[in-house]
């Protein structure tokens, strides 16, 4: 599994790309991040971001969540939150998440300092509610030939057991 990050909208540079576990930011009690949190910095005032999640079969029922200031310019609002207006889809058979970020507003991680500094900092990723049940595992079954073979084995074992009891 790997991730591709594409940036557009007048922004042509990506710095400090990393993928971290949720625990690196602190625990989100209501969501799990099975793909980790993608962090990056953009030296731009706004950008259109598309994240390609290769080897994933869709992100149905997921939300794109971020860690940072929920209330811009407030150091006391650092938390996990759902980024609004994220579009999940596919491109050439690869699952994608597409969204826009702007400097100094919700979604920019360095707004807690009150800075509109021409830089966007982003840690975030697709999350699944920790309260929803995991997908059901398929129940193993036998093919018709396997059922026949099992029946023959059980019949043979029963015949052998019956002979032993008579003697």
Any idea where the domains of the chain sit in the sequence? 3-129
Helix (H) or strand (E) holding 87, with range, is strand 87-91
Are 40 and 119 in contact, with CB atoms under 8 Å apart?
A: no
Alpha-carbon distance of 85 to 33, in angstroms, equals: 19
pTM above 0.75, yes or no: no
Q: Are strands 120-129 and 94-102 parallel, antiparallel or unpaired?
A: unpaired
Interval 56-93: pLDDT, tens: 776 767 899 998 888 776 777 788 899 999 999 989 98
The two tokens of residue 113 are 């300092």
Interval 96-147: pLDDT, tens: 999 999 988 888 877 656 567 888 888 899 998 887 666 667 777 778 887 8
């Amino acid at each position: 599994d790997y991730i591709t990050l594409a940036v557009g909208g007048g922004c042509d540079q990506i710095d400090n790309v990393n993928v971290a576990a949720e625990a690196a930011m602190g625990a989100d009690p209501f969501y799990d991040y099975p793909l980790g949190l993608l962090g990056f910095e953009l030296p731009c005032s706004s950008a259109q971001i598309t994240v390609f999640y290769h080897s994933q079969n869709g992100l149905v029922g997921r939300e794109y969540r971020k860690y940072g200031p929920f209330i811009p310019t407030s150091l006391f609002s650092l938390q996990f939150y759902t980024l609004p207006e994220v579009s999940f889809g596919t491109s050439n058979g690869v699952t994608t998440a597409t969204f826009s970020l702007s400097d100094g507003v919700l979604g920019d991680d360095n707004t807690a300092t009150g800075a509109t500094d021409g830089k966007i900092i982003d840690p975030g990723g697709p999350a699944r509610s920790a309260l929803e049940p995991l997908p059901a595992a398929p129940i193993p079954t036998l093919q018709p030939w396997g059922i026949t073979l099992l029946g023959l084995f059980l019949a043979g074992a029963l015949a052998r057991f019956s002979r032993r009891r008579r003697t």
